[in-house]
Structure formats: C-alpha cells, structure tokens
Structure 1
Amino acid sequence: MAVTDRSDCPVNLAVELFGDRWTLLILRDMIFADRRYFRELLRESDEKITSSILADRLERLVSAGIVTRSGDPGHKQKSVYHLTERGIDLVPVLATIGQWGATHCPADPAKAASARELAYETPSSWQALMDELRRRHETVCDDDAG
C-alpha cells in the first residue's frame, strides 16, 4: 500500500488514483475527444484546467500506468500521450458516469445524447444490489421522488 493510500479497499485505491475532477476530465478528453497533446488537453477543454494541474495529473496518470508519454516524431519538443490497456479499461467507468450525468443533471442536450449512445443494460448483479438498497432505503427514495 502506498503512503497516500488510506486503506486497501478497491474503491478507495481507485479514488486515490483518479478520483479528483481534473483527472477524470483529462481521461474523458483522451477517451471521447481523442485529445493526446498537452496543448489540446489544456486549450480545448471547456473546464479551463491550468497548465500546472494538467502537468501534475498527466504525470500521475503516467506513473500509474494509465497513460504513456512519448516524443512526437513530427516535433521534437512535443510529447504525445497514449492510453494504455489500463486506461482503455476505464471506458465503462466514464461512460457510466456520463450516462448518470445525462439522466440526473441539467446537461447540454447534445452532450447528453453522446453519453446516452453508450447506454448499457445494468448487469443483474448490480440490479440485485440496487433493488436491495431501494428496499433498505425506501423512505429516503420515496422522499426523493416527490
């Protein structure tokens, strides 16, 4: 367990790695907008990340083996970032977050449509847990609906 990890719980370990807003947005831009250069990630994102935060989060992603950095053959001073298999494995995670946001938040309709294109059928194991949670929390769920 790394010094920054608070526990060896899988959810905690994942949150420690990429749970801040900027890291998830960088991954979103790499996965769904094919942004692979520092300048693209810096200037083409609606959220206006600062260069220092971008550099830090990219370094974290490289260190974690989610992204690799290599020299750009067309320009000696540029680097290009590539998703590794670990990074590509995050597609369902980001698609699920996007689908939830499209359903429960006041998202831009065009962007929400893109998120809904990746809709999936909830796995039965997840559905069973969700049904159990609804049963256990039915007073809260009933209040939330009204």
Structure 2
Amino acid sequence: MQTIRPYNTSDIEQVVKLWWETWHQTFPEIKHPQSYAAWKARFENDLTIKGNIWVAVEGVIVGFMVVIEEERELNQLFVDSNYQNRGIGKALIEKAKLICPQGLTLTTLQNNTKACLFYEKHGFKPGMMSNNKINGQPNIEYS
C-alpha cells in the first residue's frame, strides 16, 4: 500500500535517482545536457529550497512531486516506470491540488504524450508552447 508523505532530506538519493532514471527511460532518444551531479545539485540547491516536496512510498520511494506554492506551479511529478498506472500519479496530483486549491500550472515536454494525456485527464488544459531552457526541447504549459 502506498503512502504520500513529506520529503525528508534523507530521501535525496532515492528521489534524484528516480527522477534521473525515469526521465531517461521516458526520453531515451534525448541526450540530456546535464549530468546526474547537476540534477542532484539542482534538486538540493533549488527545488528543496523553493518547493513543497512530497514522496509516494511503497516500501521504497516510487514517486515524488515538487509544488512551488508562491508560483502555483507543479514543477516536477515523476513516478517510477515500474509503478505507473497504479494511482500514484493521481494521488500526487490530488495532493498538489490541495496544496494550491486556487489552481496550478505545469510544463512538460510536448512529446511526452503519456504525461499530456494524464494531465488532461486530471483537468489540466493545454496552453502556451515554448522551449525548455535546460534541454532545448519543445514544452507545453498546462493550467
């Protein structure tokens, strides 16, 4: 059974590993310009400072999300590919909506069709398109 709980600093290795591996499994055709160490530094020095982070646990961490409340932004939402389609993403999105009941925005890569369908299923509407500042790929914003 899964639980959703606040992030603890001791979770960093599990969370960053999940983030890195899931992103690269989702986009095997894209060579990300940043190293694992850069992802970890971004998580530690940016997301943990600005964000409200929650993890989904089923014995181990199987998903996480970062909500930046001041910007009403769902900045990250990742579920381990071995645990997808089990309601974990839905539980995280519901938690995000509780954190920001006035509404949320998020950005994902346009070619992440699985994520786009997931967000639309959960009430998000597609909007502005842009390019990701870090990896250069086309983004789509949802609200």
Give TM-score, length-normalised by structure 2.
0.31
Which structure carries more helix by proportion?
Answer: 1
Q: Which of structures 1 and 2 has the larger relative contact order (alpha carbons within 8 angstroms, sep 6+)?
A: 2
Report the structure number with the largest CA radius of gyration: 1
More strand, by proportion: 2
